[in-house]
Amino acid sequence: MEPLLLSKREKRRLAGQYADLCLTCGTCAGGCPVTGVDGLDVRKVVRLALLGLDQEVIDSRFPWVCTLCGRCEHACPMNIDLVKLLRSARGMRDRDKVPGVLHKGVAMCLKTGNNVGIPHEDFMFLLQDLGAELAEELPGFEVPVDKKGAKYLFTINSKEPFAEPEDMMFWWRILTAAGESWTVASKNWEGVNWGLFTGDDASMKEIVGRVVQNYKELECEYLVLPE
Amino acid sequence: MKFLSVHDLLKQYLEEGRIKVDKSIHQELTTFHDPCNYGRKSERTFGHGYYEEPRWITQQCCENFVDMYPNRANNFCCGAGGGAWASPYVEERIFYGRAKAKQIKDTGAKLLIAPCHNCRDQIMKSLRKEYDFMDVEVKYLWELVADSLIIEPKDE
């Protein structure tokens, strides 16, 4: 076994600002449901980071099997920023090595304005069609799209128009019952930001920026985050 | 820029009487899942965790409520957070969810409220089947409210 030189620590890149405060108590790992998967756990990840073995963490599946739920961080007696550490490991992977569809979703969102690439016309048609369906129950109902000066701007989880469109009606019913002034944007309406999950701050910021731009252009008072 | 969460809005509507709900529609024992993002992570990032608001909203719509244990800041993740629902590590995601499944089953509840798309999908579409509790119905928080609405005819 190769000796681990303390000088290696200088090369450490994983963002765990307070990781060297770790007492190695294992509280974090003790409360985590995926401790032991692939022989790793969050306490070991902290040790690897402190020893400068960043690449081992980045190449492992652990930061992705972890759900970034923050239970470890909440329990940590030294309040170490464990979620930030694990998320930064995700961000340091080459984008083509991000598991599954997550990065593809980010790229799709940057390109089309939503994670699953629903074309503008299809989205407009769906809102109109579903709106007409709900109008049979609530006469006069239609989905307010790009309504300038509405009080609330709602984003939409693309999963709904993509796979479970009728679930959008739950909110529509509530907003109608409340007599609310609200709107959805016709473009960049995606409410899910997978850059958060892939550790991709630049894309995350761009996607948030587009939502903020809608909010400003439509002169809404509040942005509602339905997730 | 002003923003608010769905919990703030639903609570406001109910408190101000802008919507009315009938809790007799949901008689069954009901429990609530704390999503990590609305709880722990919101608390850490924004200084406020949404623990009490969704419980209050749920109890406006349900007669019988029971909490899971542990709950609030110590709640277990559904197992599909952080993008895991869309990840290829399916076996690990289901393994992770065993803690959540046990918590839910231990309550004896027949209705579970989840105010997060991701948590709802993991519990409803995966964990119920994998851990054998198909008899527990799963609803979004806003689905529960929508299903409990008393729609009054409009005064024209």
Q: How confident is the model at residue B152 (pLDDT cuts 50, 70, 90)?
A: confident
pLDDT digit string, tens, across residues B36-95: 999 999 999 999 999 999 999 999 999 999 999 999 999 999 999 999 999 999 999 999
Taken as a whole, chain B contains a residue count of 156
CA distance B109 to chain A (A): 23
Whether the CA torsion B73, A222, A193, A204 is positive or negative: it is negative
Answer whether residue A5 shows pLDDT above 70.
no
ipTM score of complex: 0.96
Residues A87-110: tens digit of each pLDDT: 999 999 999 999 999 999 999 999
Q: From the CB of residue A222, how many other CB atoms can be counted at a distance below 10 Å?
A: 18
Give yes or no: residues A106 and A198 share one domain. yes
Is there a single domain that holds both residue A60 and residue A124?
no
Q: Judge whether B52 lies within some domain.
A: yes
How much is the pLDDT for A4? 64
Are residue A85 and residue A108 in the same domain, yes or no? no
Chain A nearest-CA residue for B34: A69
Nearest CA-CA partner of B148 in B70, B57, B68:
B57
Give dist(CA A215, CA A221) in Å, integer: 8
**Same-domain status, A108 and A201:** yes
Amino acid, single-letter form, for residue B72: R
The yes-or-no verdict on residue A201 having pLDDT over 70 is yes
Q: List the one residue out of B18, B71, B31, B133 whose CA is nearest residue A74.
A: B71
Q: Are residues A135 and A220 in the same domain?
A: yes
Average the pLDDT over A167-171 and give the result: 97
**Cross-chain residue pair A177–B151, CB shorter than 8 Å:** yes
* Cβ-based contacts of A83 with chain B (< 8 Å): 41
d(CA A32, CA B111): 26
Measured CA distances, B142 to A30, A73, A189 (Å): 34, 29, 19
- Is A1 inside a domain boundary? no
* Number of independent structural domains in chain A: 2
Q: What confidence category does residue A170 fall into, taking pLDDT thresholds of 50, 70 and 90?
A: very high
Mean pLDDT of A49-58: 92
Question: Is residue A59 pLDDT above 70, yes or no?
Answer: yes
Q: How many residues does chain A have?
A: 227
Helix (H) or strand (E) holding B5: strand B2-5
Q: What is the mean pLDDT of residues B112-134?
A: 97
Domain membership of residue B82 (yes or no) is yes
Q: Give the count of beta carbons closer than 10 Å to the beta carbon of residue A78.
A: 13
User: Of A40, A72, A93, which one is at a domain's C-terminal end?
Assistant: A93
- Split into its structural domains, chain B has a count of 1
Closest by Cα among A67, A44, A163 to B89: A67
Asked whether the beta carbons of residue A34 and residue B96 sit closer than 8 angstroms, the reply is yes
At A13 the pLDDT is: 80
Question: Looking at the predicted structure, is the pLDDT value of residue B156 above 80?
Answer: no
pLDDT of residue A62: 98
Chain B residues in contact with A106 (beta carbon < 8 A):
none
- Do A138 and A76 lie in one domain? The reply is no
Identify whether residues A110 and A188 lie together within a single domain. yes
What is the layout of strands, in order, in the sheet containing A152-154? Answer: A182-184, A152-154, A222-225, B2-5
Q: How many residue pairs from chains A and B have C-beta atoms closer than 8 A?
A: 140
Could you tell me if residue B55 is inside a domain? yes
My answer on whether A109 and A41 are in the same domain is no
State the pTM of this model.
Answer: 0.95
Q: What angle do CA A98, A100, A104 make, to 5 degrees?
A: 75
Where does a domain end: A33, A65, A93? A93
Q: Does residue A210 sit in the same domain as residue A110?
A: yes
- Give the range of the structural domain holding residue B32, as residue numbers without chain letter: 23-148
Structural domain boundaries, residue A55: 6-93
Statement: residue B15 has pLDDT above 80: yes
- Residue A8's pLDDT band, with cuts at 50, 70 and 90, is low
